Amino acid sequence: MPFGFGIVGCGMISRFHARAIADIKGAAVTACYSQTAESAEKFASEIPGCKPYQDLDAMLADPRVDGISICTPSGAHMEACVAAAKAGKHVVVEKPLDVTLARCDAMIKACEQAGVTLATIFPSRFHHSSQLLKQAIDKGRFGRMTLGDAYVKWFRTQQYYDSGAWRGTWKLDGGGALMNQAIHSLDLLLWFMGPVAEVTAATATLAHERIEVEDVVVATIKFKSGALGVIEASTAAFPGELKRIELHGDQGSACMREEDIIRWEFAKKTKADEELLARMAGKTHTGGGAADPKAIGHHGHTKLFQDFLSAIKKGTKPLIDGHEGRRSVEVILAIYKAAATGKAVQLPLAKDPTWPNRKAGK
């Protein structure tokens, strides 16, 4: 029998999860859940053998469901995760893990107590270019890391935000260009550069109406290693550019644009460097989501689901477990706090019952 996945939430991103699972031998989408019968039935009609549900508990009781993939709005991840853990089901959660640290912690605790595996969707870590950069860092080719920057200058129309009542809200989107779009690049930056010590930031809503969150953000980062960095993110940069990460050390520099490596220079050169640069300069085959959220591939998702299933089989942790998913949420909340207060914010974030005050958008 294949490992059966139940998809929770049947919106756009659920199709990418389904395609990724379909590419894996020994895995299948066996069920789906939506509060709306029409959405669940439409999704199920696209996948042979997928049973639609409007009752989450009923889906979790289905013996053909071994794990779930949560594709609901960001601020509604916790409830499904906790319910699945109590039912003994393994859990994959679309980014971000959730929108507050308390909710993230509840998810992690529920899965650990139930002994089920929890993974967070950050497919960019599985791209070959990302893996090569991480390997070069770990081998010390950059020397001392000095700068790590991420740029996500994308464009989303007003219609994009108007298409769902949850979009652009603090409660269910959890934030704007940073929490929803640039979190992938931030996760990579943290993976490459290590833990963050302090952030400063500014945010603005400049090009969109009827949203509570930012469409432009600039933050400076001080890593615990002493290295510095910048993250710029926007959904108001027409026509939208491929995301970019730049890494620098006292012995090397590299730049990744989407999945392409466009700079690869080190003081200690190797014979393979020139060939690698030529081979990795043309890896991007989609729009990368720069202007169209549907213009992404699902190959990174496939590798992530494979890693998830391997971890379950071996009894090990997936590459991006709940704690890894929580890390980017904490840094984003620190950036939002720095922007709201105009002050530098240290990490880890201290527990503060007054923060974040989502009703005030602060």
Separation between Cα atoms, residue 332 and residue 74, nearest integer Å: 14
304-331 pLDDT per residue, tens: 999 999 999 999 999 999 999 999 999 9
Where exactly does CATH 3.30.360.10 map onto the chain?
125-279
Which residues sit opposite 113 in a β-bridge? none
Sign of the CA dihedral with 93 first, then 96, 102, and 105 last: positive
199-217 pLDDT per residue, tens: 999 999 999 999 999 999 9
Separation between Cα atoms, residue 233 and residue 189, nearest integer Å: 13
Residue 361's pLDDT is what?
42
Strand ranges across the sheet with 27-33: 51-53, 27-33, 3-8, 67-70, 90-93, 118-120
Instruction: Cite the DSSP H helix spans in 115-181.
Output: 128-138, 158-162
Residue 295's pLDDT is what?
59
Mean pLDDT, residues 125-129 taken together: 95
The set of long-range contacts for 310-318, using a CB threshold of 8 Å and a minimum separation of 24, is 311/117, 311/119, 312/3, 312/67, 312/90, 312/117, 317/117, 318/117, 318/118, 318/119
**SS3 state at 220:** strand
pLDDT at 180 over 90: yes
DSSP class of 356: S
Residue 1's pLDDT is what?
87
Residue 360's pLDDT is what?
41
| pTM for the model | 0.95
Separation between Cα atoms, residue 170 and residue 166, nearest integer Å: 9
Which CATH number describes the domain made up of 125-279? 3.30.360.10
Separation between Cα atoms, residue 100 and residue 62, nearest integer Å: 30
Which residues sit opposite 32 in a β-bridge? 7, 52
Q: Please, which residues have CB within 8 angstroms of residue 168's CB and are 6 or more apart in sequence?
A: 161, 176, 208, 210, 211, 212, 213
**SS3 state at 83:** helix
Mean pLDDT, residues 13-34 taken together: 97
329-348 pLDDT per residue, tens: 999 999 999 999 999 999 99
Q: Identify the helix (H) or strand (E) that includes residue 57.
A: helix 56-60
Q: Percentage of the chain with pLDDT > 90?
A: 90
251-306 pLDDT per residue, tens: 999 999 999 999 999 999 999 999 999 899 876 666 666 766 665 678 999 999 99
DSSP class of 138: H
Q: Identify the helix (H) or strand (E) that includes residue 16.
A: helix 12-22
Encoded tokens for 208: 């969109």
Separation between Cα atoms, residue 232 and residue 216, nearest integer Å: 8
Residue 302's pLDDT is what?
96
Residue 289's pLDDT is what?
66
Residue 54 amino acid letter = Q
Strand ranges across the sheet with 196-204: 260-266, 252-257, 244-249, 145-153, 228-234, 216-223, 196-204, 345-346
Which residues sit opposite 257 in a β-bridge? 244, 260
Nearest to 88 by CA among 62, 70, 114: 114
Where exactly does CATH 3.40.50.720 map onto the chain?
3-123+299-319
Which CATH number describes the domain made up of 3-123+299-319? 3.40.50.720
pLDDT at 362 over 60: no
234-247 pLDDT per residue, tens: 999 999 999 999 99
Which residues sit opposite 234 in a β-bridge? 153, 216
